[in-house]
């Protein structure tokens, strides 16, 4: 039974488009990518004798890609010398396969050793033509750098894939045939998933000349497929790859691949002439395999080369197949009209186009719909003119035709993917960008900005990047609710420059719980409405509060008309503060931030104790409710004032003004005093006289002072009903000013908490004193305003970093997002699922490689260089067959510096700069030396030191590092040759 297979990953580079987003935008805009030959591609006078041909082929129009020979050789562990000898098609494939696998949701490194098949469609062999001009200058790398087989085999080798690996060469249909072979391999369990690619690079004008001689080259300079002025082919280059895998394994879906069929024209009017009856038979057989009727097919991406003969034969064959009743004509098109004929990659250009169409549920308009070939209208066919779209509930069947120059034909049928998940959650998208170094980070950042500007889906990018792109030494986080916000955020990535003062993995994490005074109508509303996971935790608290009181805390969060009035009552204000802080702490922990210590200020101690495991959330809320009721029942004339002065000035104030008590000790320059209203007014006047800043506070009671003594018994009665546990975290008490001992507290702790001074400064100092010097500390404030974090920043150590969850703004979510960003930049891990509550398809910004330009010399300069640098060939066979052991040092010959010789020879063989070839560098992993390079290394060493001083080849095969090679050669004194 055939498995249900889907295309789950896509990557490409085609004329006018460097990635899939650019390709889709180009298709939707019907933009013609044909242009004159790029400068430096070749010198036409090296290929043609007459001036007319030289002039034409120096600027011959075609579909060309940018940076033809740019390659990130270090990413794949290949040395620079070997990379320079590789066919650009090999280089392209290595990079595009990486991007396709990531697009499918895979880290390519995790597939090493797996049954992954590689199926490549290829046709051009220009590189061999160029490289084999001078057989005397051939190196082993020339052989492994050329040839169709190596296009697929090098991918399997470097990625360590164990499935089938083959290159299909059926000319223009190569990549379509490759897809059918991949389907069969998966269905027969030869591989679990497959990479299918098509590649074509135009390095010489040879095929253009052939098309010209055969009368196939378009005089108008464009493939005008299915138009009434079709006049020939325009060559194009490009590369595309897709990941094909069983549906149940796929993390992403572009479309289902439901059937493929291959046949051959047999004898027709000529080897290269298309055969209508064979095309007709091909389609019928394929639809039979798919259990479909021709009437079920909604659209065909045709071969459509734009030759008058080819178009006529293809349209007539389609008309014969699609005759009969249809509700609407079958749409037809050919992407060759926009990019030219990519030959072996042409079918892959069509496959990716169809995959994108089915994913985006859109058939873009055809550029020639107003000038269609009259034969189109004679059957049930049509060129799309208005860009048809459809809803997710409609299932579409699309097909692709691809016909090879030599008569091998393929037809493929695809259908709509599983309905994409539409993410309507209000939370912002968080897109991590990471790399191993600053240069790599800038490349990935720029690629992200480009993708965002092209309209990439931010939710899908967030999903993909969180899975695969969140690891790296240099990293940052862009975020926003819409594409514009995310793009603006992306432009700020890496700014300001950040250098961590300490290792975040060693620094303890502290949760700081805000105290009384930071409550306000609408507190945490933005976060509550935006993030469902946070909302869930707050709702748990509110449910307990409703059960115990019959009222809800939501009017305060919603900032409705009752909010301000409710906050004047401790029975509302204190529970809502607890609920906000507890829910924030639970959410931060779910995101991945588990605290090593907690510290609470005033009412914040209840949330701190609950998070530390001293009591449950339900117990804490019941106690806070009782506390609020007891406070509201206290009648008095209490007042409070902030004192911004030194401890000595505070002592002078308390001596001069009777009736004041110290309520809060925030720092040695920031205090709060309490007393009756007369005492607080006297303190204010004293401050005016002494020029000391004393500011009365708007409060309902004189908290943390003897004026609260009347509520002590009620508090202690409520507290005594709770069974307490020893703290499971380091809990720094602002009642005692010390770290709480690892045993259960007594009920009178909370009555003392009500009337005693809030000793935040001593408790915070104790916490800092418990941290080893230089280790640093990270603090996150759990509260609706930045109070403790500001205190910590002002009074804490230079090796501390302190962050807030919110500012005093009902709509604020940016503070949380920036804190998350800062912690991510520090290297702290994030559980992304706690931020994303709705499923979403995945997407990725195409990986931005560190490209080196390996542009070739012109043919004449190549020949000149090859001849001038030619050395007589040496043969490694002697070293291979020799059984001679290393001889004793040759005393009569002068010794040379071994290390310098080894570095010099390795630089010659690998192409790496000599200064980078250090003794600890590994020959294979770091310098990219393989068995073929080793033979060349042996030859060059023999030239320098002589046959008699060479070790056996078997010994060299065991050498791991540059230092090992130096050591084995140093066992004899090598003579200078």
Kind and range of the H or E run holding 166:
strand 165-168
Degrees, nearest 5: CA angle 62-147-144:
125
Between 420 and 646, the higher pLDDT residue: 646
- Helix 748-755 × helix 712-719 angle, to 10°: 150
CA pair distance 411, 401, nearest whole angstrom: 5
- Put the strands of the sheet holding 800-803 in their side by side order: 730-732, 597-600, 509-513, 777-782, 800-803
Cβ neighbors of 674 (< 8 A, separation 6 or more) are 638, 639, 640, 660, 661, 662, 663, 680, 702, 703, 704, 705, 707
pLDDT of residue 870: 38
- The per-residue pLDDT for 932 is 67
Q: What is the dihedral of CA 461, 462, 467, 471, to 10 degrees?
A: 100
Report the catalytic residues: 172, 303, 341
End-to-end CA distance of the chain: 68
In tens, the pLDDT along 588-597 reads 999 999 999 9
CB 722 within 8 A of CB 738: no
Lowest mean pLDDT among 501-510, 892-901, 916-925, 947-956: 892-901
Q: Please, what is the average pLDDT of the chain?
A: 89
**Residue length of the chain:** 977
Statement: residue 864 has pLDDT above 70? no
* Segment among 446-460, 573-587, 845-859 with least mean pLDDT: 845-859
Render pLDDT for 929-944 as a digit per residue (tens, 0 to 9): 776 677 778 778 888 8
Distances from the Cα of 213 to the Cαs of 47, 53, 271, in angstroms? Answer: 15, 12, 16
Query: Residue 139 has what pLDDT?
Result: 76
Domains and CATH numbers, the chain: 5-415 (3.40.47.10), 510-633+701-758 (3.40.366.10), 637-700 (3.30.70.250), 893-976 (1.10.1200.10)
What's residue 747's pLDDT? Answer: 93
- Distance separating alpha carbons of residues 629 and 294, to the nearest angstrom: 77
Pairing state of beta strands 388-389 and 730-732?
unpaired
H helix intervals, 592-711: 604-611, 617-632, 647-656, 677-690
- 175-184, 488-497, 709-718, 752-761, range with the lowest pLDDT: 488-497
Contact 205, 254 (CB under 8 A): no
Instruction: For residues 476-486, give the mean pLDDT.
Output: 94
In whole angstroms, give the CA distance from residue 524 to residue 806: 7
The pLDDT value recorded for residue 187 is 95
pLDDT, tens digit, 9 for 90 and up, residues 174-194 = 999 999 999 999 999 999 999
Nearest to 176 by CA among 110, 262, 271: 262
Give residue 500's pLDDT band: very low, low, confident or very high (50, 70, 90): low
**Closest to 292 in 3D by CA, of 379, 402, 398:** 398
Residue 907 in this model has a pLDDT that exceeds 90: no
For 429, phi then psi, to 5°, come to -90, 135
- pLDDT given at position 894: 42
Nearest to 514 by CA among 806, 746, 796: 806
Contact 140, 930 (CB under 8 A): no
Q: Confidence class of residue 420 from pLDDT cuts 50, 70 and 90?
A: low
The pLDDT assigned to 426 comes to 67
Backbone angles phi, psi at 698, to 5 degrees: -85, 100
- Work out whether strand 638-644 and strand 777-782 pair parallel, antiparallel, or are unpaired: unpaired
Reported confidence tier of residue 418, pLDDT bands at 50, 70, 90? confident
State mean pLDDT over 619-647. 92
In this prediction, residue 3 has a pLDDT band, given cuts at 50, 70 and 90, of confident
| pLDDT over 80 at 394, yes or no | yes
The pLDDT tens digits for 668-683 are: 999 999 999 999 999 9
* pLDDT of amino acid 886: 34
- Whether the pTM exceeds 0.85: the reply is no
């Amino acid at each position: 039974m055939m498995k249900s297979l889907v295309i789950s990953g896509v990557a490409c580079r085609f004329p006018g488009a460097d990635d899939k987003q650019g390709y889709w935008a180009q298709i939707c805009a019907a933009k013609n990518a044909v242009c004159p030959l790029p400068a430096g591609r070749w010198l036409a006078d090296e290929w043609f004798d007459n001036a007319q041909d030289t002039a034409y082929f120096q600027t011959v129009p075609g579909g060309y890609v940018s940076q033809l020979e740019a390659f990130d050789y270090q990413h794949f562990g290949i040395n620079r010398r070997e990379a320079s000898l590789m066919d650009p098609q090999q280089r392209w494939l290595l990079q595009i396969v990486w991007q396709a696998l990531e697009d499918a949701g895979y880290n390519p490194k995790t597939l090493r050793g797996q049954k992954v098949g590689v199926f490549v469609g290829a046709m051009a062999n220009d590189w061999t033509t160029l490289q084999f001009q001078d057989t005397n200058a051939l190196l082993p790398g020339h052989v492994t750098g050329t040839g169709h087989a190596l296009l697929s085999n090098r991918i399997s080798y470097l990625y360590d894939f164990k499935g089938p690996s083959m290159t299909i060469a059926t000319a223009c249909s190569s990549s379509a045939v490759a897809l059918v072979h991949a389907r069969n391999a998966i269905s027969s369990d030869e591989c679990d998933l497959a990479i299918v690619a098509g590649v074509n690079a135009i390095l010489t004008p040879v095929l253009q000349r052939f098309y010209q001689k055969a009368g196939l080259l378009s005089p108008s300079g464009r493939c005008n497929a299915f138009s009434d002025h079709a006049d020939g082919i325009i060559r194009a280059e490009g590369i595309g790859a897709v990941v094909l895998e069983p549906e149940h394994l796929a993390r992403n879906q572009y479309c289902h691949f439901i059937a493929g069929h291959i046949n051959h024209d047999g004898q027709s009017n000529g080897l290269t002439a298309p055969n209508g009856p064979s095309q007709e038979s091909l389609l019928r057989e394929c639809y039979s395999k798919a259990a479909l009727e021709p009437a079920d097919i909604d659209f065909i991406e045709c071969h459509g080369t734009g030759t008058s003969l080819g178009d006529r034969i293809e349209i007539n064959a389609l008309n014969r197949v699609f005759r009969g009743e249809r509700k609407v004509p079958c749409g037809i098109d050919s992407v060759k009209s926009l990019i030219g004929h990519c030959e072996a990659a042409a079918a892959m250009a069509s496959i990716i186009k169809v995959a994108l169409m089915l994913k985006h549920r859109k058939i873009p308009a055809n550029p020639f719909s107003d000038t269609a070939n009259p034969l189109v209208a004679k059957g049930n066919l049509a060129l799309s003119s208005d860009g048809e779209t459809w809803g997710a509930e409609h299932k579409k069947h699309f097909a692709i035709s691809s016909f090879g120059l030599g008569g091998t034909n393929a037809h493929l049928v695809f259908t709509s993917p599983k309905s994409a998940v539409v993410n309507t959650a209000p939370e912002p998208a968080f897109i991590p960008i990471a790399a191993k170094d600053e240069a790599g980070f800038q490349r990935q950042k720029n690629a992200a900005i480009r993708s965002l500007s092209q309209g990439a889906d931010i939710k899908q990018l967030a999903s993909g990047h969180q899975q695969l792109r969140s690891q790296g030494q240099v990293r940052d986080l862009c975020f926003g609710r819409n594409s514009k916000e995310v793009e603006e955020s992306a432009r700020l990535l890496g700014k300001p420059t950040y250098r961590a003062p300490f290792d975040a993995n060693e620094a303890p994490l502290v949760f700081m719980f805000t105290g009384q005074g930071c409550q306000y109508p609408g507190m945490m509303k933005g976060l509550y409405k935006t993030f469902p996971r946070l909302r869930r935790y707050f709702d748990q608290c509110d449910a307990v509060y409703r059960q115990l009181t019959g009222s809800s805390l939501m009017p305060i969060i919603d900032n409705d008309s009752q909010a301000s009035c409710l906050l004047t009552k401790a029975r509302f204000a204190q529970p809502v503060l607890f609920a906000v802080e507890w829910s924030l702490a639970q959410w931060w922990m779910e995101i991945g931030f588990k605290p090593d210590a907690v510290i609470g200020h005033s009412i914040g101690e209840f949330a701190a104790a609950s998070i530390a495991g001293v009591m449950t959330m339900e117990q804490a809320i019941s106690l806070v409710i009782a506390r609020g009721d007891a406070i509201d029942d206290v009648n008095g004339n209490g007042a409070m004032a902030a004192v911004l002065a030194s401890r000595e000035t505070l002592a002078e104030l308390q001596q001069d003004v009777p009736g004041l008590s110290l309520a809060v000790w925030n720092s040695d320059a920031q205090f709060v005093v309490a007393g009756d209203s007369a005492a607080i007014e006297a303190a204010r006047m004293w401050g005016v006289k002494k020029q000391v800043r004393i500011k009365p506070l708007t409060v309902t009671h004189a908290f943390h002072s003897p004026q609260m003594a009347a509520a002590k018994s009620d508090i202690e009665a409520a507290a005594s009903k709770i069974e307490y546990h020893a703290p499971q975290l380091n809990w720094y008490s602002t009642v005692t000013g010390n770290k709480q001992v690892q045993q259960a507290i007594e009920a009178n702790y909370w009555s003392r908490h009500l009337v005693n001074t809030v000793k935040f400064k001593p408790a915070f100092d104790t916490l800092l004193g418990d941290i080893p010097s230089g280790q640093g500390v990270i603090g996150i404030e759990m509260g609706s305003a930045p109070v403790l974090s500001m205190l910590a920043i002002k009074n804490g150590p230079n090796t501390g970093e302190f962050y807030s969850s919110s500012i005093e703004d009902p709509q604020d979510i940016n503070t949380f997002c920036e804190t998350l960003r800062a912690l991510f930049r520090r290297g702290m891990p994030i559980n992304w699922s706690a931020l994303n509550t709705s499923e979403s398809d995945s997407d990725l910004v195409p990986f931005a490689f560190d490209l080196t330009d390996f542009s070739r010399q012109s043919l004449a300069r190549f020949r000149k260089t090859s001849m001038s640098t030619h050395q007589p060939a040496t043969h490694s066979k002697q070293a291979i067959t020799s059984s001679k052991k290393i001889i004793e040092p040759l005393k009569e010959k002068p010794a040379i510096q071994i290390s310098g010789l080894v570095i010099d020879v390795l630089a010659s063989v690998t192409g790496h700069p000599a200064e980078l070839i250090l003794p600890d560098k590994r020959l294979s992993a770091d310098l990219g030396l393989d068995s073929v390079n080793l033979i060349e290394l042996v030859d060059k060493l023999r030239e320098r030191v002589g046959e008699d001083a060479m070790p056996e080849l078997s010994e060299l095969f065991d050498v791991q590092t540059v230092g090992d090679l130096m050591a084995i050669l140093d066992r004899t004194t090598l003579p200078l040759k």
